[in-house]
Amino acid sequence: MQTIPNARLWRPHGWHDGLKLNFDSHGRITRPLAGGTTSQRVVPGIANLHSHAFQRAMAGMAEQQTNPADSFWTWRETMYRFAERFTPESLHAVAAQLYSEMLEAGYTTVCEFHYLHHRPDGKPYADPAAMSRALIEAAQETGIRLTLLPVLYMTGGFDGRALADRQRRFGHDVDSYLKLLEILRTEQCDMVQIGCALHSLRAVPEGAMRVVLDALPADSRIHIHIAEQTAEVDDCLAVRKARPVQWLLDNAPVDNRWTLVHATHLDDAEVQGVARSGATVAICTTTEANLGDGLFPLRAYLDAGGRWGVGSDSHISVSPIEELRWLEYGQRLVTRRRNIAVTPEMPSVGANLLHGVVTSAAASTGHPIGTLAEGEFADALVLDTGATQFAGANDDDALDRWIFNGNRNLVRETWVGGRCVVQGGRHFHSDAIADHCRAEIRQMLEA
């Protein structure tokens, strides 16, 4: 019998005094044990709902103007050039570095939206799952919980054009894609779930989408990029005669298995429709800001009762705190008001933000995680309450201090499935992982 140390434990309805999390040999919580009074605080681990691991290697390398009208679309060309350089070995090295950083920052699960499938010329590797296995191995090396989402990517636009040369390594036909999913499902275990990702409506024709959805297991998680850019909305209106989110709601069985990534550009009807569907929106605040995408209509979505979480996407930041902080700050800048993400029952912004990300985790990832309830995996963060940022903290302001008080990482320990993988703010294998990653990135840049 193992436990996470005695602490004041936060669950979605507030703090619980002096509890130890007791868990079984699989790392699932069995029952809390009473403990003595303590100032230590434990909160649920955070699920990162959207990741493109390879893009961590290019963070900071697309910040020089290449066009007076630089946008997501010009950034994408830089990303494509960088993507051409990856091998299974370099992807493993970069992903392991990223995942160790995530664990140190407080992410305990990652949804990997993976489309770097083949060789740069588009030909499959001898093992068609080689790039996927590199990500699974990186997750196992670091100890992060993984939802691997192999991506179906078929066309270069709503008009059905063929993939461009730089997109060739992303592509599958329906049969080869379903075969990849079948191969990868043999890797499923307590720490790894295999879901499905449809890259976007512009990249997956309607007929192919229907065939794939019909072939998926009933409990498969389904993620899709949608309504990230206004140009995408305009193109969808021109070709499919509907806005992308509305088209999806009208033409697919969207429910709580679905995660809509970005969904930045919504009208009022779409806000209500997504909330009613039970789907989760994965908001990637720092990437959406970096790419100039726009701001998600958070207050309207919260009022509609919508489910949401966060993702670090392109990994120009690997911090759930920054994602949450700037999710709130963006709304303040638009409304010129403060304290937006609150409810009458929960006036703390920090508590509401944490409530949002932990209560969406299980539905979006497919893992029984998120709220530290009995039967869930013991994925938890021990906060560094000895830090000056927590001096004199109480139940009302502890979470606000964690999220809105400076830039020091205040996660002291990270536990995944009852296993401590970060101690003193450092991943156990961070030095070796970083050495390997540095060597691979230098080799890619020299090529």
* Cα 427 to Cα 75: distance, rounded to the nearest angstrom: 32
Share of the chain above pLDDT 90, in %: 89
With a CB cutoff of 8 Å and minimum separation 6, the contacts of 80 are 164, 166, 167
- Is a pLDDT exceeding 90 seen at residue 122? yes
Q: Which helix (H) or strand (E) holds 173?
A: none
- Is a pLDDT exceeding 70 seen at residue 1? no
Q: Which helix (H) or strand (E) holds 421?
A: strand 419-423
Q: What is the pTM of this model?
A: 0.97
Listed by start position, the domains of the chain span 2-44+378-430, 46-365
Active-site hit among 313, 355, 367, 384: 313
Q: pLDDT of 55-93, one tens digit each?
A: 999 999 888 888 888 888 888 888 998 899 999 999 999
Written in H, E and C, the secondary structure of 15-82 is EEEEEEEEECCCCEEEEEEECCCCCCEEEECEEEEEECHHHHHHCCCCCCCCCCCCCHHHHHHHHHHH
Token pair in block for residue 354: 């944490």
- The average pLDDT across 364-369 equals 98
Secondary structure class of 176 (helix, strand, coil): helix
* Cα 388 to Cα 312: distance, rounded to the nearest angstrom: 27
Gyration radius of the chain's alpha carbons: 21
* Cα 125 to Cα 176: distance, rounded to the nearest angstrom: 13
Q: pLDDT of 188-225, one tens digit each?
A: 999 999 999 999 999 999 999 999 999 999 999 999 99
- At 36, the pLDDT band (50, 70, 90 cuts) reads low
Residue 62, exposed/middle/buried by CB under 10 A (0-12, 13-18, 19+)?
Answer: buried
Secondary structure class of 274 (helix, strand, coil): helix
Establish whether 121 is a catalytic residue.
no
What CATH number matches the domain at 46-365, 3.30.460.80, 3.40.50.1820, 3.20.20.140, 3.90.550.10? 3.20.20.140
- The average pLDDT across 134-146 equals 98
- The average pLDDT across 123-152 equals 98
Give helix 130-142 / helix 88-105 axis angle, nearest 10°: 30
Cα–Cα nearest to 109, from 139, 86, 71: 139
Q: pLDDT of 375-425, one tens digit each?
A: 999 999 999 999 999 999 999 999 999 999 999 999 999 999 999 999 999
Active-site hit among 262, 355, 367, 436: 262
Establish whether 313 is a catalytic residue.
yes
Q: Are 52 and 291 in contact (CB under 8 A)?
A: no
Q: Which residues pair with 41 in a beta bridge?
A: 8
Share of the chain above pLDDT 70, in %: 99
Give helix 244-251 / helix 230-240 axis angle, nearest 10°: 50
* Cα 382 to Cα 40: distance, rounded to the nearest angstrom: 8
* Cα 210 to Cα 204: distance, rounded to the nearest angstrom: 10
Q: Which residues pair with 43 in a beta bridge?
A: 381
- The average pLDDT across 143-163 equals 97
* Cα 447 to Cα 434: distance, rounded to the nearest angstrom: 20
Residue 304's alpha-carbon distances to 197, 223, 298, 301, 350, in angstroms, are: 26, 21, 10, 5, 20
Q: What is the 8-class DSSP label of residue 255? A: S
With a CB cutoff of 8 Å and minimum separation 6, the contacts of 235 are 157, 158, 202
Q: What is the 8-class DSSP label of residue 251? A: H
Average pLDDT of the residues of the chain? 95
Q: pLDDT of 261-307, one tens digit each?
A: 999 999 999 999 999 999 999 999 999 999 999 999 999 999 999 99
Range 2-44+378-430 classified under CATH 2.30.40.10: yes
Q: Are 199 and 224 in contact (CB under 8 A)?
A: yes
Q: Are 52 and 43 in contact (CB under 8 A)?
A: no
Q: pLDDT of 305-355, one tens digit each?
A: 999 999 999 999 999 999 999 999 999 999 999 999 999 999 999 999 999
